């Protein structure tokens, strides 16, 4: 499949940095915080924040029985860009929480989604304590398909990458000097061992990018993408309110 036409990465980086500066200043915060997962999306958000706020930002690695490779990749970013960094292991909390709920009553997918919800809670606790805004890492394909955990990684104050195609995430990352192994790493939410975004969605980011950017895709792809978009609309909206006639 031919690559979609991408916007200039220098323009995209500058626009996102100016936007972050304006939005965080408007909120009266001193900077931003991002959960550093070892993947490319969080790496890019971290670099954007560092470029704008210097030491007035924070990256946090929040493992929940995570793979050691993810931690190593996160530390590569910390060392390469001199990022303010904390590490908080949520694994014991996750285990205790599951036991309290009754592990045998919780489905595997429900258990997996507890992980990003615990991370969201940790990020907001740190953010509020240090006058930072939580910066999410969702990109345009993930937002459109609803490929995020409601009140988990979807819980954020700002979404700087929210209008970027996945291919643009990669091009801006290259422009900003993020190491190539992280750019080429298979995208994964880290919900379970061996999990990848594209396998779970049933299509590649290139296919989704092509559809979102140019309306390209066969009938099967179009139907699948639009069905996912419709079914996940509740993730992109505030909860409905039951209104009474006045």
Tens of pLDDT, residues 234-245: 999 999 999 999
CA 86/CA 140 separation, integer angstroms: 28
**Residue 119: DSSP 8-state:** H
Q: Measured in whole angstroms, how far is the alpha carbon of residue 88 from the centre of its chain?
A: 18
pLDDT of residue 76: 97
pLDDT of residue 67: 92
Of the candidates 41, 73, 197, 209, the residue annotated as catalytic is: 41
Q: Is the pLDDT of residue 35 over 90?
A: yes
For the chain, the average pLDDT equals 94
pLDDT of residue 24: 98
Tens of pLDDT, residues 66-106:
999 999 999 999 999 999 999 999 999 999 999 999 999 99
Give residue limits of the domains in the chain: 9-234
CATH superfamily label, 9-234: HUPs (3.40.50.620)
Q: Is the pLDDT of residue 194 over 80?
A: no
Q: Is the pLDDT of residue 187 over 90?
A: no
Of the candidates 17, 73, 142, 168, the residue annotated as catalytic is: 142
Find the DSSP H helices in the chain.
Answer: 9-26, 40-53, 68-81, 91-101, 108-130, 140-145, 166-175, 180-184, 197-201, 205-214, 219-231
CA 222/CA 215 separation, integer angstroms: 8
**CA angle in degrees (0–180, nearest 5) for 204-123-82:** 80
| Among the listed residues 112, 150, 120, 117, the one whose alpha carbon sits nearest the alpha carbon of residue 34 | 120
CA 243/CA 246 separation, integer angstroms: 9
Mean pLDDT of the region 141-170: 97
Query: Is the alpha carbon torsion for 83, 28, 19, 160 positive or negative?
Result: positive
pLDDT tier for residue 217 given thresholds of 50, 70 and 90: confident
Q: Give residues with Cβ within 8 angstroms of 137, minimum separation 6.
A: 34, 35, 37, 39, 41, 42, 44, 45, 153, 161
Beta bridge pairs of residue 59:
34, 85
Q: Is the pLDDT of residue 216 over 80?
A: no
Round to the nearest angstrom and report the end-to-end CA distance of the chain.
55
Q: Is the pLDDT of residue 42 over 70?
A: yes
pLDDT of residue 189: 67
pLDDT of residue 123: 98
pLDDT of residue 215: 83
157 vs 195, higher pLDDT: 157
**What separation in angstroms does the CA of 182 have from each of 152, 185, 227?**
23, 5, 31
Tens of pLDDT, residues 115-138:
999 999 999 999 999 999 999 999
CA 65/CA 74 separation, integer angstroms: 15
Contact by Cβ (8 Å): 233, 240:
no
Position of tokens 């993947």? 39
Tell me, yes or no, if 142 is annotated catalytic.
Answer: yes
């Amino acid at each position: 499949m031919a690559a979609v036409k991408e916007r200039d990465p220098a323009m995209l980086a500058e626009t996102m940095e100016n936007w972050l500066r304006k939005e965080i200043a408007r909120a009266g915060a001193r900077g931003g915080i991002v959960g550093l997962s070892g993947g490319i999306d969080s790496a890019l958000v971290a670099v954007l924040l560092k470029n704008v706020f210097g030491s007035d930002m924070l990256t946090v690695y929040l493992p929940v029985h995570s793979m050691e490779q993810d931690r190593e990749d996160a530390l590569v970013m910390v060392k390469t860009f001199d990022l303010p960094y904390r590490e908080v292991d949520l694994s014991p909390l996750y285990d205790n929480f599951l036991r309290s709920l009754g592990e045998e009553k919780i489905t595997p997918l429900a258990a997996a989604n507890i992980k990003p919800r615990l991370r969201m809670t940790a990020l907001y606790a740190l953010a509020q304590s240090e006058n930072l805004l939580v910066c999410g890492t969702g990109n345009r394909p993930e937002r459109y398909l609803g490929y995020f955990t409601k009140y988990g990684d979807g819980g954020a104050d700002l979404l700087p990458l929210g209008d970027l195609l996945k291919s643009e995430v990669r091009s801006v990352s290259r422009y900003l000097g993020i190491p190539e192994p992280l750019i080429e790493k298979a995208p994964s939410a880290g919900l379970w061992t061996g999990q990848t975004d594209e396998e779970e969605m049933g299509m590649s980011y290139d296919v989704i990018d092509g559809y979102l950017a140019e309306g390209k895709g066969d009938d099967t792809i179009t139907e699948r993408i639009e069905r996912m978009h419709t079914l996940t609309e509740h993730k992109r909206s505030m909860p409905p309110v039951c209104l009474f006639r006045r």
